[in-house]
């Protein structure tokens, strides 16, 4: 009988574009299924791979065996393979790495080198003369094998590679490759219920009695809650459970981030606009692929629409995926969805520990929950079939991943909906130009909510011309008399204030008074920002930090003046103006620690914070009814960005941050300070007139052939060596040109812009160049880059100069 081998196609978790065929030894064949991980030999290494399907047989001599099947159950449904494949093709990213990025972290096995002492080594340690360092290495290995990487740490000194080689030569030490095990595991909490009847409890100790009584009252309690009442609960429960009087179960517990119980809500009576939108969307449910763009002003009840459509989808036994731009907003969405749908929800975001993420992933995969809410990576939620994908605040740039696999979750939502033959619902008060254009050209179906709930008025926006205060010194320059008065009035009414400025830190320049140079980052071609609390100058691109009391690099003068402004300076200034108010700040500096965002949001929620100063973090979708004044300190910062989307971002930011005002019963107002009061991004935002903004902006996009009238692919070339990087960029530029001229009929719609030095010419020691490919025909553009990468693989995987391909770039800096 011949060996009943069969073959599978495997994508390895390495940066290679193709998949590989492996054979399966007989004893492993019962365990093979699409979506499971396997361990495979790859060159000298063993690596994790993902089973993509069966493969037709190949020359058996060339085919290697898989070494192991790593999962009991598949990690993703086979229906997602087409999605992964699409992503790999479109974003020009290796398929194995696409799958790896999609899966919760900590699931990849890696090889590492481990050292162990041999028998000869043991003997040598006793009988032969060895050097002191050799002795310490051998002594350490006597206690057990050690990873090469950890050797230095454990011995607290540097062990030269040559010494290890000597020990190996002598046969005293052996080197083996071992596997680093997966780190992600589920996390649970113990829950206690009553077991067999215990009869009279009078004879029990006081503490034991208390436990039984509590359980009789509450039915079930978590160990942590029980410990609050009976500190010695752990020991007592163990004893009682041993006798069968209690049952202990491991359960996953949900915690509200505000630490409050979430009460079930009932759906409100919908207004006519909401009814109409819901009817339009529901009408198409289950009828195949459709994308809706819900344009609804801030506070118009979009979330209510999401929930009602979701309910309809759940009624059809289908699942719902909800994407929210960032963690802080997931909290809010999660609360509202939990209040409506109870425990049928999983959440996925980077704030979860690896174990928690894995848990949530499993719940979805096993079909235990029909709803998943999360940030951009939740687009990979492993539902076998989805009925509805909601993308809230669809215009938000955080849907774009800016590292490794550079995808846009908003765009992928539409792709996944199409592949699943279901509905996508994108919502925003300020839709992206791209999406609105899709609605205008009938790719999306536009639905509207034009009014706020309960006839609440949109806040009035007052423009203050900052040019008039240019002559002032001190606070007056950026807190105008008008804004100061408005803050006072708001605080007097015990209402809350939001102050927005799109820059963190205290001063954005430290300028030498003698020679006029700005102090720059050592590793980036960027001026340093002054942070007062830390008394440090920091680089916002690489994190480099130096003491603020420093002399000028250029001329040695100590006279450094800090100019410009940021959140920290506004916070300090406002606190000085209003000493009794509680002023807090929300930006990337104050929210690095886990849970700090929630603390700030809770402060707003409890009204313990009177004034919140923040960056765009505060502009996004939060719903705090007591905020009645929003101050936009300087609307121009985003306008001056060297990016064709600067106008779009500015409009969105102003309209969004203004939308935080007056969401409760009292009306809201906004004071918008700017140096460009006549710019159309600002005037249209003042009237919150998205259509008017769109009509002007789209005209300019069309004229210059910018997206949505073209697509772009951004080639980012970077390296430590200035000259090499520049040359590599030039080479790549020439290859682009010659490809274009080699087949003019095919590629005449592809424009090649560059190579040029990037606007941020150096970040974190790396010099940066770029080439922008622009094409009016998507297919031709994608063929172009695929050909380029296939014909010149070495140019794209150079050891010293990195070339990153960013398809549909969002940031061009």
Q: Where are the beta strands (DSSP E) in 233-355?
A: 246-251, 290-296, 320-323, 345-348
d(CA 155, CA 157): 5
Contact 406, 305 (CB under 8 A): no
Binding flag, residue 299, ligand ADP (CB under 6 A):
yes
Residue 400, binding choice from Zn ion, ligand ADP, none, Cβ under 5 to 8 Å by partner class: none
Please list every residue from 9 through 48 that binds Zn ion, using CB under 5 A: none
Please list every residue from 613 through 652 that binds ligand ADP, using CB under 6 A: 623
Binding flag, residue 296, ligand ADP (CB under 6 A):
yes
Among 25, 268, 342, 793, binds ligand ADP (CB under 6 A): 268
Quickly count: other Cβ atoms within 10 Å of residue 672's Cβ.
24
Binding flag, residue 542, Zn ion (CB under 5 A):
yes
Please list every residue from 548 through 567 that binds Zn ion, using CB under 5 A: 552, 554-555, 557
Closer residue to ligand ADP (CB): 299 or 662: 299
Least distance in Å: CB of 268 to ligand ADP? Answer: 4
* Buried/exposed code over 458-496 (b: 16+ C-beta within 10 A; e: otherwise): bbebebbebeebeeeeebeebbbeebbebbeebbeeebb
Among 204, 223, 270, 795, binds ligand ADP (CB under 6 A): 270
Closer residue to Zn ion (CB): 594 or 722: 722
* Buried/exposed code over 30-43 (b: 16+ C-beta within 10 A; e: otherwise): eebebbbbbbbebe
Measured N-to-C along each axis, helices 132-142 and 148-155 cross at an angle, to the nearest 10 degrees, of 110
Residue 298, binding choice from Zn ion, ligand ADP, none, Cβ under 5 to 8 Å by partner class: ligand ADP
- Going by their DSSP bridges, the two strands 536-538 and 669-674 should be labelled as unpaired
Least distance in Å: CB of 275 to ligand ADP? Answer: 9
Closer residue to ligand ADP (CB): 332 or 590: 332
d(CA 697, CA 648): 8
Residue 521, binding choice from Zn ion, ligand ADP, none, Cβ under 5 to 8 Å by partner class: Zn ion
d(CA 315, CA 305): 16
Among 94, 301, 351, 809, binds ligand ADP (CB under 6 A): 301
Cα 515 to the center of its chain, rounded Å: 42
Among 23, 108, 291, 300, binds ligand ADP (CB under 6 A): 300
d(CA 233, CA 236): 5
What single string gives the DSSP state of each residue in 4-57? --EEEEEEESSS-SS-EEEEE-GGGGGG--TT-EEEEEETTEEEEEEEEEEE--
- Interface with ligand ADP by CB under 6 A: which range of 24-32, 77-85, 190-198, 300-308? 300-308
Please list every residue from 303 through 332 that binds ligand ADP, using CB under 6 A: 303-304
Least distance in Å: CB of 347 to ligand ADP? Answer: 19
Name the CA dihedral angle for 222, 226, 227, 228, rounded to a multiple of 10 degrees: 110
Q: Where are the beta strands (DSSP E) in 195-333?
A: 220-222, 246-251, 290-296, 320-323
Binding letters toward ligand ADP, positions 451-490, x by CB under 6 A? --x-------------------------------------
CA separation, residue 738 to residues 732, 742, 774 (Å) = 10, 6, 16
Q: Which residue has the tokens 């003491």?
A: 547
Closer residue to ligand ADP (CB): 458 or 463: 458
Least distance in Å: CB of 605 to ligand ADP? Answer: 13
3-state secondary structure of 348: strand
Least distance in Å: CB of 598 to ligand ADP? Answer: 18
Residue 406, binding choice from Zn ion, ligand ADP, none, Cβ under 5 to 8 Å by partner class: none
Q: Would you tell me which residues interact with Zn ion (CB under 5 A)?
A: 512, 514-515, 521, 523-524, 539, 541-542, 544, 552, 554-555, 557
Q: Would you tell me which residues interact with ligand ADP (CB under 6 A)?
A: 268-271, 274, 296, 298-304, 453, 623
């Amino acid at each position: 009988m011949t060996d009943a081998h069969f073959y599978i196609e495997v994508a390895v978790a390495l940066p290679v574009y193709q998949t590989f065929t492996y054979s399966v030894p007989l004893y492993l064949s019962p365990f093979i299924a699409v979506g499971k991980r396997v361990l495979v030999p790859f060159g000298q290494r063993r690596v994790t791979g993902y089973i993509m399907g069966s493969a037709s047989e190949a020359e058996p001599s060339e085919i290697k065996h898989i070494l192991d099947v790593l999962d009991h159950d598949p990690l993703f449904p086979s229906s997602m393979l087409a999605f992964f494949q699409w992503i790999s093709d479109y974003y020009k990213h290796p398929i194995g790495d696409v799958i790896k990025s999609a899966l919760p972290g900590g699931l990849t096995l890696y090889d590492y080198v481990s050292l162990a002492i041999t028998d000869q080594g043991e003997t040598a340690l006793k009988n032969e003369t060895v050097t002191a360092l050799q002795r310490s290495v051998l002594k350490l290995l006597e206690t057990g094998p050690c990873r090469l990487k950890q050797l230095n740490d454990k011995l607290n000194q540097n062990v030269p590679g040559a010494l290890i080689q000597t020990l190996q030569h002598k046969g005293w030490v052996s080197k083996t490759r071992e596997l680093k095990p997966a780190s992600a595991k589920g996390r649970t909490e113990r829950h206690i219920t009553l077991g067999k009847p215990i009869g009279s409890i009078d004879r029990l100790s006081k503490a034991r009695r208390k436990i039984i009584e509590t359980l009789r009252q509450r039915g079930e309690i978590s160990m942590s809650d029980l410990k609050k009442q009976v500190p010695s609960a752990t020991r007592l429960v163990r004893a009682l459970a041993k006798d069968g009087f209690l049952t202990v179960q491991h359960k996953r517990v949900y915690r509200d981030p505000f630490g409050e119980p979430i009460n079930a809500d009932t759906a409100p009576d919908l207004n006519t606009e909401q009814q109409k939108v819901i009817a339009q969307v529901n009408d198409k449910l289950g009828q195949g692929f459709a994308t809706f763009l819900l344009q609804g002003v801030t506070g118009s009840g979009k979330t209510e629409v999401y929930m009602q459509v979701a309910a309809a989808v759940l009624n059809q036994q289908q699942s719902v995926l909800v994407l929210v731009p960032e963690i802080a907003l997931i909290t809010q969405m999660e609360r509202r969805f939990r209040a409506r749908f109870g425990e049928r929800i999983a959440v996925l975001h980077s704030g979860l520990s690896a174990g928690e993420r894995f848990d949530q992933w499993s719940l979805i995969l096993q079909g235990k929950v029909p709803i998943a809410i999360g940030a951009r990576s939740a687009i990979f939620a492993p539902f076998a079939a989805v009925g509805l994908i909601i993308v809230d605040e669809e215009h938000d740039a955080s849907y774009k991943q800016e590292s490794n696999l550079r995808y846009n979750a908003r765009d992928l939502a539409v792709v996944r909906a199409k592949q699943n033959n279901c509905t996508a619902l994108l919502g925003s008060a300020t839709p992206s130009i791209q999406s609105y254009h899709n609605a205008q050209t009938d790719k999306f179906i536009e639905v509207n909510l034009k009014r706020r709930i309960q006839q609440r008025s949109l806040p009035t926006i007052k423009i203050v011309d900052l040019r008039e205060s240019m002559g002032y010194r001190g606070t007056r320059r950026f807190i105008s008399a008008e804004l100061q008065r408005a803050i006072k009035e708001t605080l007097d009414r015990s209402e809350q204030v939001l102050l927005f400025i799109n820059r963190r830190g205290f001063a954005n320049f430290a300028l030498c008074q003698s020679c006029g140079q700005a102090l720059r980052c050592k590793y980036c071609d960027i001026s340093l920002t002054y942070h007062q609390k830390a008394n440090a100058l920091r680089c916002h691109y690489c994190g480099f930090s130096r003491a603020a009391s420093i002399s000028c690099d250029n001329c040695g003068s100590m006279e450094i003046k800090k100019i410009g402004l940021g959140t920290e300076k506004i916070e300090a200034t406002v606190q000085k103006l209003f000493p009794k108010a509680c002023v807090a700040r929300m930006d990337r500096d104050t929210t690095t620690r886990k849970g700090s965002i929630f603390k700030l949001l809770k402060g707003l929620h409890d009204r313990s914070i009177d004034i919140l100063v923040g960056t765009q973090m505060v502009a996004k979708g939060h719903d705090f009814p007591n905020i009645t004044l929003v101050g936009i300190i300087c609307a121009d910062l985003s306008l001056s960005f060297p990016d064709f989307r600067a106008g779009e971002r500015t409009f969105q930011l102003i309209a969004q941050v203004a939308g935080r005002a007056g969401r409760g019963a009292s009306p809201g107002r906004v004071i918008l300070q700017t140096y460009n009061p006549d710019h159309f991004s600002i005037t249209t935002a003042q009237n919150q007139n998205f259509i008017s903004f769109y009509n002007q902006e789209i005209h300019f996009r069309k004229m210059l052939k910018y997206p949505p009238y073209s697509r772009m692919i951004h080639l980012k070339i970077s390296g430590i060596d200035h000259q090499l990087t520049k040359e590599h960029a030039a080479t790549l530029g020439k290859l682009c040109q010659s490809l274009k001229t080699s087949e003019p009929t095919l590629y005449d719609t592809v424009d090649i812009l560059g190579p040029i030095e990037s606007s941020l010419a150096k970040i974190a020691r790396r010099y940066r160049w770029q080439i922008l490919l622009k094409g009016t025909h998507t297919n031709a553009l994608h063929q172009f880059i695929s050909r380029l990468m296939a014909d010149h693989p070495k140019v794209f995987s150079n050891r010293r100069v990195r070339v990153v391909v960013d398809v549909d770039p969002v940031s061009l800096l």
